[in-house]
């Protein structure tokens, strides 16, 4: 089986990119680099840039292509990611992919090109339930879902014992609708884009967390 080191995850919001990306990254011994997490980290600093980003995220809109390409390129080239990475949430539009392609063809990415685009396929009906039921430990950041991944003891984080849980500010019914629209209009065209490059594989993302990660293992080898 081919060996993949640099994988881009594609799929609608709520398809499980974050969850499956973390499992896959651990198996591969690399980091998951989440575009959304990088942006939320900037928002937390309270900087002017953070405020601009928050305004976009809260409406479910994409931030500027130049900004996210810059942040992700930096992360891809960081020494700690020299052996590979999983990219969750980038690229998210053809514009981003084309800007990144030019950079990827430069000398810094010699031998470090994206070698797989893994599409986690989930029909629209699943998405609202998956997004609206999720929360995150306020202390350590572990993600949970009230139905699909509850804590073992009600109200207590399995990992750190924290008792406070937070929902993402953009995980609201209103924002989900615009995030889905953005996905269909801006992100879904990346499916044929990566298909044309011969990099695309699809996995059915509708089963349990375990079932999907086993399917990914069959396809990717990890
Ligand atoms: P996520 O955590 O992947 O669901 O992303 C949350 C939000 O961050 C998105 O709805 C966008 O507002 C923003 N975002 C994440 N990734 C990107 C990207 N590649 N390009 C532009 N905006 C992004």
Q: How many residues does the chain have?
A: 222
Instruction: Give the model confidence (pLDDT) of 59-85 as tens digits.
Output: 999 999 999 999 999 999 999 999 999
31 is catalytic: no
Asked if residue 134 lies in contact with residue 145, where contact means CB atoms within 8 angstroms, the answer is yes
17 is catalytic: yes
CATH number of 6-123+188-220: 3.40.50.300
Q: What angle do CA 94, 97, 101 make, to 5 degrees?
A: 140
Taking the centre of ligand 1 as the mean of its atom positions, its distance from the CA of residue 92, in whole angstroms, is: 8
Taking the centre of ligand 1 as the mean of its atom positions, its distance from the CA of residue 36, in whole angstroms, is: 5
| Mean pLDDT, range 47-70, rounded to an integer | 96
Where do the domains of the chain lie? 6-123+188-220
The preferred substitution site among 9, 14, 35 for testing ligand 1, maximizing ligand atoms within 8 Å of CB, is 35
130 is catalytic: no
Q: What angle do CA 87, 89, 91 make, to 5 degrees?
A: 80
CA distances from 129 to 36, 40, 123, 146, 206 (A): 20, 22, 12, 10, 12
d(CA 114, CA 96): 14
**Does this model's pTM top 0.75?**
yes
Look over the chain and give the mean of its residue pLDDT values, rounded to a whole number: 95
Provide the pLDDT for residue 125: 83
Asked if residue 215 lies in contact with residue 204, where contact means CB atoms within 8 angstroms, the answer is yes
Taking the centre of ligand 1 as the mean of its atom positions, its distance from the CA of residue 165, in whole angstroms, is: 21
d(CA 144, CA 185): 29
Provide the pLDDT for residue 2: 63
Element (H, E) at 66: helix 65-77
């Amino acid at each position: 089986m081919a060996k993949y080191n640099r994988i881009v995850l594609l799929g609608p919001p709520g398809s499980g990119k974050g969850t499956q990306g973390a499992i896959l990254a651990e198996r591969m011994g690399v980091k998951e680099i989440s575009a959304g997490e990088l942006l939320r980290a900037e928002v937390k600093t309270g900087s002017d840039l953070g405020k601009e980003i928050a305004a976009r995220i809260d409406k479910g809109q994409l931030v500027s292509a130049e900004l996210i390409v810059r942040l992700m390129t930096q992360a891809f080239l960081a020494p700690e990611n020299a052996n590979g990475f999983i990219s969750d949430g980038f690229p998210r539009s053809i514009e981003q992919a084309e800007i990144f392609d030019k950079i990827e063809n430069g000398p810094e990415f010699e031998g470090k090109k994206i070698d797989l685009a893994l599409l986690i396929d989930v029909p629209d009906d699943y998405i609202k339930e998956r997004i609206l039921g999720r929360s995150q430990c306020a202390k350590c950041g572990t993600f949970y879902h009230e139905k699909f991944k509850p804590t073992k003891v009600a109200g207590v984080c399995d990992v750190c014992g924290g008792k406070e849980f937070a929902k993402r500010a953009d995980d609201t019914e209103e924002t989900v609708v615009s995030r889905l629209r953005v996905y269909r209009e801006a992100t879904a065209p990346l499916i044929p884009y990566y298909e044309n490059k011969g990099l695309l594989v699809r996995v059915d993302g509708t089963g349990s967390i375990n079932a999907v990660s086993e399917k990914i293992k069959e396809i990717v080898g990890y």
